Structure 1
Amino acid sequence: MLSVARFCSILLLTQIIVCGQNVRSKNKNGKLTRPNTSFPQTPMMELLAQTIAPNIAQQNPGDLFDILRDKYPLPNGLKSPFSEYDYVIVGAGSAGCVLAARLTENPDITVLVLEVGKPENLLTDVPSIAPYFQRTEYSWPYFMEPQPGVCLGMENNRCFWPRGRAVGGTSVINYMIYTRGRPQEWDRIAADGNYGWSYKEVLHYYMKSERASLEGFEDSPYHGNSGELNVEFVPERTPLIDAFLEAGRELGHPTVDYNAPERLGFGYLQGTVHGGKRVSAAKAFLHRNKRRPNLHILPMSTVTKVLIDPKTRTAYGVQYARNRLRYEVRARREVILSAGPIASPQLLMLSGVGPKDHLSRLGIPVIQDLPVGHTLYDHITFPGLVFTLNVSNLSFVESRETRLDSIIQWIQYGDTAVSTTGAAEGIGYIKTPVSDDPDDVPDMELISIGGSIVSDGGPTGSKAVRRGMMIRDDVFDGAYGSIDNTDTWTAFPMLLHPKSVGYLELKNNNPFSHPRMYGNYLTDPRDVATFVASIRHIQALAATQPFQRLGAKIHRAQYPACRNLTFDTDEYWECAVRTLTATLHHQIATCRMGPDTDPLAIVDPELRVYGVAGLRVVDSSIIPRTVSVHTNAPAIMIGEKAADMIKATWR
């Protein structure tokens, strides 16, 4: 339990940092002005501010979040990093954090971690405000290139692809969902020639990291309890999750531990949380080890190039920018890219490793001709299937939960609605009738929400979910305005194994430009058929007694592009999915792993880049096939496994 002094400090600091309109500075004329901060204003934090200290002035506000950020000073009073390390890791994301922690267990090994983002702060601990971080300084504001026929209801008709930009990577801004994939999926990856990647082998590394506290599964042979990464059930639930699980049982879906390998089913959401607060990869693996003298972490450092000797094709260091200055650092053993599925392939290509024709057109000297970025898979969802309810106070509604007592209760005890993982409560795996998979592998994941995309609305609502997806106001208001800020339920269908394949390429040779990303969503008609089948299954769930007792009734949303289509026809639902096409931030395969016989492979099964010595890629970009996962847990597993492979190489 927090001490009184600690509690008061947190309240006061939260007020100072969060409330942009209440935290002010004086200009040269002595007039109070609002600071320029990109962090969103939330009703929850507004209430806290107005109650505790509504008017606080600062002479020099500077970085308003700095006093609440975690700190990563160089150890032993060092003022600058070394010029050479054993390993240089690019990116402190989910994989990079665990990799740095494991490699520096040997005190004779030195590691430098370079991360473009800032450390997390107090607010990123709050699970319920996960949607807010999609459009803050903690996120890369990536956009997919325009594609006809998808994201028709989004701003500028473009799909928004936010990725984490922080020490901790996307684990700082995600919905904290912990999933591992089915055994058949990992066994197929191994059968393709990726030795060491079977389900049994990756399970060992999942369990190594895990510190599970899951009521009812304490004796499970599939969960670890001595690792660093907390995995727990969300402490606060609505009755909607019980209706979801009961409805699932009525339709033949048992209530299970969905991370166990035996059978498909529905289950309570397992999240990377502890005591109702977010556990990022940085918090789990870096924070407790940051005082190791052999581990140096440099936030706000942008790596612009991997240094590769063109004659020997050996990586020997990186070039990076920090505080507007350019530096170089050398790696005695290896350079390891852990920058994620967008930045890792981008950095490879900027460094001369990529498709020869593409790099030559941009004037980049080619060191190794590889199909970097030629394969890109992503998990997409449709958030628009909303059911109204005739029972009040049933779902999470932001305006109802914005109470000071709720915030204080969360700070003290980690419960109340503040602890919910963006209102996600349960996971269900289904295999639709259109699946052609011969094995017992799902083609859809259903994410049960204790509300819906209208739960953040109303006159005092933040509208963070819809804005985080960049749904246009006119589209949203026309489709959902009549039920905004009311009690509702939805399940997000997540397309697990898209047949549509995208790709990624450079825009130019400027390391500060975003690459061009082509999702090619729904270009294969089988993906559309799978979405429609999943919508029919969610409708069947809502038609069962558990939901009918709550008066569940489908909302007849009207979208501009679908006006001429009859509601609830397959054609209508295809149009609806094409209107609200949203990523779940699970891009993979841009640095595809495979044996040397795989023409699309970038790295071998030990994650070494083909044709370049001393260079590996260790993040979710190496996953070669679609897997039934939210990619945070697999990225951590990849970091664990890579650490052992690297240690074995240099033993």
Structure 2
Amino acid sequence: MLTNFLILSSIFGVKCSYDYTNEDDIWTGSSTRNGKIFWPYQESLIDAIHYATGKQGPKKNIGDYFDFLRDPYGLPPGLSSPLPEYDFIIIGAGSAGSVLASRLSENRNTTVLLLEAGKPEMLLTDVPAMAPYFQSTDYVWHYYMEHQDGVCLGMENERCFWPRGKAVGGTSVINYMIYTRGRPQEWDRIAAAGNYGWAYNDVLQYYKKSERAKLDGYENSPTRNKDGRMPVEFVQRRTKLIKAFLEAGKLLGHPTVDYNSPNELGFGYVQVTAQDGHRQSAAKVFLHKHKNRRNLHVLPESTATRVLIDEQTKTAYGVEFVRKGKTYVIKARKEVILSAGPIASPQLLMLSGVGPRDHLISKGIHVVQDLPVGQTLYDHICFPGAIFELNTTGVSFNENSAIDLTSIISWLRDGDSDLASPGAVEGIGYIKTPVSNDPEPIPDIELISIGGSILADGGPGGSKAVRKGMRIKEEVFNDAFGPIDTRDAWSAFPMLLHPKSVGRLELRDRNPFSHPRIYGNYLTDKTDSATFVASIRHIQALAATEPFQKFGARVYPANYPACRSTVFDSDEYWECAVRTLTATLHHQIATCRMGPVGDPLAVVDPELRVHGISRLRVVDSSVIPRTTSAHTNAPAIMIGEKAADMIKDTWRSSNGVYSYK
């Protein structure tokens, strides 16, 4: 505990630095002022995290110093290199891949190789409040959407930033930990399209299998579970603003509920994948306790470059990957499974010759199987700029009060300081705007209630991690919110649940280390922008109720450079504002879309087998064929659980050798 405290108190100092003048010393010592730890050479907090996560900095090899903070993975004693052959090779140790590797290796007679391009998680990733800081480190893939006119106007280079987790644990290591499942009708529609086994009651058993809920009684519901592996709990640290959000919701007809219940829509306290205020990634939960299994080999910093496919039989038989400058070719006796996520999985398929024929030919790639890989892409986008000033101080979260000595000690001891808050997210509310024409009780907007706003990241003297993590231009942010930067505020992010606009993903070239071209096509359907405007009107109605007026809540007239020709608070102004601060919530799906034989948009079948290729599956959120009212971490874990059973059943019925209990 003392070691943890010293490390955290050092790195959490709002100002911290390293002694660049002495190559034998990493830092020169520390001192305290106003309860905060810092070094004489001043660097920002986010720079310190760069060094801690291995990102290049002024100090040569300084990242190596922090390796002891990481959860170590590797080959068993006595092995200096991976085996030449495994039963299963899984590419990607994210939310789905971690679950899948854990479940398949339960049988000690089955060998599993799990490849991950990123590094293991570390002590700092356990801190929920650190989520925005990691958006600017090597713990994420720094993907950018291709430029699109009329969106992301306030972002750097007018391009939306799409960070995806690059770690053992994937995006579950750097996300905001929100646990949502989607509405029953959404999953039933997926099944009705020919995807047998994916109706709500089918997926519910796998949501429950993973879950170990502790939710003030909600865990006793027949749709919840308190005996699984993945902890799900309420955030322990809250502001008074969450009570106002829930009370305002009731006044507008939104009951306070378990929002993951299938029974009704409503508002509720946010549920997160955490335990006692500490992040619980998929790796921590599903891999950490089992990493010493001799039949489970986890190789971090290993980038898959190609799936090996026999062109005559159209059978996957192995993987090519690069690790520490060396290229390996490893064979799979049973299956190759892509769990690299909604960006890397389709990219790897196309690099391996599985994808749209004309596109692959244009990149000089030999076509093994013509499939619409990457041709469907949905994403959940939000608007973080509906900010309400408060006339009360000390009400909302602020970075400067969160990262001090007292908060660190409290978090280490009890997990209940401001550091336990996942980006100040406190509540979730589901609404159906007047724009929706869906006849069923399916929301079109999720409201994410924030115990503060994007102004709470320290302001001029702080890290500015939130705005930097979103890649908001400094001049746009200052013009829009400069006069109230760091002040107490409340905001709710509206998240568009069912966009009509459809994107796509393509290869940039045949180099496996190039990022693909991503076309979000955000707001190209007018219904999407109209839904956003309607949701902002609903947020304003919430803020106008007595619970928020106790705090003097008043919408702030942000001065966006692109919107100066519009009248503040007009529909035109809000649409322009949304197009200025267009932010992804990292929920990309459908790039390896699931569908039955004959579905012209399908890449995998309902058992997640790639159409036309034997012994090759995709197991991650890229297979979800249509949008759901869910953040994708919980569905990805569910997909990993369900896929594990499908794979076990396949090999049990085929030869009886692999007996899974």
TM-score tier by shorter-chain length is: over 0.9
Kept in 2: contact 1:25–1:61 (CA 8 A): no
Match of 1:47 in 2: 36
* Matched AA of 2:464: K
Deviations 1:255-311, CA, capped at 9 Å, x for gaps: 000000000000000000001010000001000110111000000000000000111
TM-score, structure 1 normalization = 0.95
The structural deviation recorded for 1:221 is 1.0
Unaligned runs of 5+ in 1: 1-6, 36-42
Task: Determine if contact 2:12/2:404 at 8 Å carries over to the other structure.
Answer: no
What is the CA-CA distance between 1:622 and the residue it aligns to?
Answer: 0.1
- Equivalent residue number for residue 657 of structure 2: none
Maintained 8 Å contact 2:382/2:584: yes
> What is the distance in 1 between the residues matched to 2:510 and 2:33?
43
TM-score between the two structures when normalised by the length of structure 2: 0.93
Q: Determine which of 18, 23, 39 is the counterpart of 2:18.
A: 23
Are the counterparts in 2 of residues 21 and 34 from structure 1 also a CA contact under 8 Å? no
* Equivalent in the alignment of 2:2: 8
- With over 3 angstroms needed to count, the CA separation of the structure-2 counterparts of 1:405 and 1:435, relative to structure 1, is same
The separation in 2 between residues aligned to 1:361 and 1:159, in whole angstroms, is 26
Contact persistence 1:338–1:619 (CA under 8 A): yes
CA distance in 1: counterparts of 2:177 and 2:567, whole angstroms: 37
Does structure 2 retain, via aligned residues, the 8 Å contact 1:176–1:273?
A: yes
User: Partner residue of 1:581?
Assistant: 582
- Native 8 Å contact 1:18 1:45 kept in 2: no
Contact 1:177 1:270 in 2 (8 A): yes
Superposed CA offset, 1:498-544 (max 9, x none): 00000000000000000000000000000011000000000000000
Alpha-carbon distance, 1:218 to partner: 3.6
Give the structure 1 partner of residue 269 of structure 2.
268
Deviation (angstroms), 1:481? 0.4
Q: Secondary structure of 1:471's partner?
A: coil
Deviation at 1:45, TM superposition (A): 13
Aligned to 2:547: 546
Q: Distance in 1 between matches of 2:33 and 2:237?
A: 17
Residue 390 of structure 1 deviates from its aligned partner by 0.9
- Please say if 1:620 is aligned against 2:629: no
Counterpart CA distance in 1 for 2:35 and 2:570 is 43
Summarize the Cα distance change of 1:17–1:465 in structure 2 as closer, same or farther, 3 Å threshold.
closer
Q: Give the match's secondary structure for 2:218.
A: coil
SS in 1 for 2:649: helix
Cα deviations by residue, 1:163-218 (Å, 9 ceiling, x for unpaired): 00000000000000000000000000000000000000100000000000001314
Equivalent in the alignment of 1:487 = 488
Distance in 2, Cα, partners of 1:416 & 1:85: 45
Please, what is the CA RMSD of the aligned residues? 2.2
User: Which whole-Å CA distance do the structure 1 matches of 2:422 and 2:129 have between them?
Assistant: 5
Which residue of the partner structure matches residue 255 of structure 1?
256
Secondary structure of the residue aligned to 1:240 is helix
Mean CA deviation greater in 9-18 or 509-518: 9-18
Query: Structure 1 residues 307 and 16 mapped into 2: Cα distance closer, same or farther (>3 Å)?
Result: farther
Aligned mates of 1:44, 1:516 — CA distance in 2 = 47
Query: 1:98–1:285: 8 Å Cα contact kept in structure 2?
Result: yes
> What residue number does 1:223 align with?
224
Work out whether residues 389 and 490 of structure 2, in 8 Å CA contact, stay in contact via their aligned partners in 1: yes
Tell me the amino acid that sits aligned with residue 626 of structure 2: R
Gaps of 5+ in 2: 49-57, 653-661
Match of 1:244 in 2: 245
1:443 is matched by which residue type in structure 2?
A: D
Letter in 2 for 1:323: K
Question: How far 1:74 moved relative to its partner?
Answer: 1.4
**C-alpha spacing 1:212/1:45, structure 2 compared with 1 (3 Å):** farther
Please tell me whether the aligned partners of residues 603 and 610 of structure 2 are also in contact (alpha carbons under 8 angstroms): yes
1:27 Cα deviation after fit: 5.4
From the superposition, tell whether residues 25 and 222 of structure 1 become closer, same or farther in structure 2 (CA, over 3 Å).
same
Which whole-Å CA distance do the structure 2 matches of 1:261 and 1:18 have between them? 41
Q: Shift of residue 460 of structure 1?
A: 2.6
Q: How does 1:450-599 map to 2 (within 5 A)?
A: 450-599=451-600
**Residue-by-residue CA offset, 1:88-122 (whole Å, 9 max, x unaligned):** 00000000000000001111100000000000000
CA distance in 1, matches of 2:612, 2:628: 28
Output the amino acid matched with 1:400.
S
Shift of 1:80: 1.6
Q: Which amino acid aligns with 2:104?
A: L
* 3-state SS of paired residue (2:626): coil
Could you tell me how far 1:59 is from its partner in structure 2?
A: 10
Residue 541 of structure 1: SS of its match in structure 2? Answer: helix
Q: Which moved more, 1:125-134 or 1:397-406?
A: 397-406
> Are the counterparts in 2 of residues 17 and 65 from structure 1 also a CA contact under 8 Å?
no
> Partner letter of residue 324 of structure 1?
G
Fraction of identical pairs, as percent = 67
Q: Distance in 1 between matches of 2:542 and 2:250?
A: 10
Amino acid at match of 2:615: G
Contact 2:5 2:412 in 1 (8 A): no
> d(CA) in 1 for partners of 2:62 and 2:209?
43
Q: In the aligned structure 1, how far is the partner of 2:363 from the partner of 2:390?
A: 56
Q: Structure 2: how far apart are the matches of 1:249 and 1:68? A: 45
- Identify the residue that residue 331 of structure 1 maps to in structure 2: 332
Residue deviations 1:59-98 (CA, integer Å, cap 9, x gap):
9745232110000131243222111000000000000000
Q: How does 1:322-361 map to 2 (within 5 A)?
A: 322-361=323-362
Structure 1 residue 132 and structure 2 residue 141: aligned? no
Answering whether residue 81 of structure 2 is matched by residue 80 of structure 1, we say: yes
In the alignment of these two chains, the number of paired residues is 634
For the 8 Å contact 1:387–1:555, the answer to whether it is kept is yes
Q: Compared with structure 1, are the counterparts of its residues 414 and 33 closer, same or farther at alpha carbon in structure 2 (3 Å cutoff)?
A: closer
* Stretches (4+) displaced over 4 A: 15-21, 25-28, 32-35, 43-46, 57-60
* Per-residue deviation, 1:227: 1.1
Q: Is 218-227 or 325-334 further displaced after alignment?
A: 218-227
Counterpart amino acid of residue 445 in structure 1: E
Report deviation, 1:33: 8.0
CA–CA distance in structure 1, aligned partners of residues 553 and 646 of structure 2: 52
Paired position in structure 2 for 1:4: none
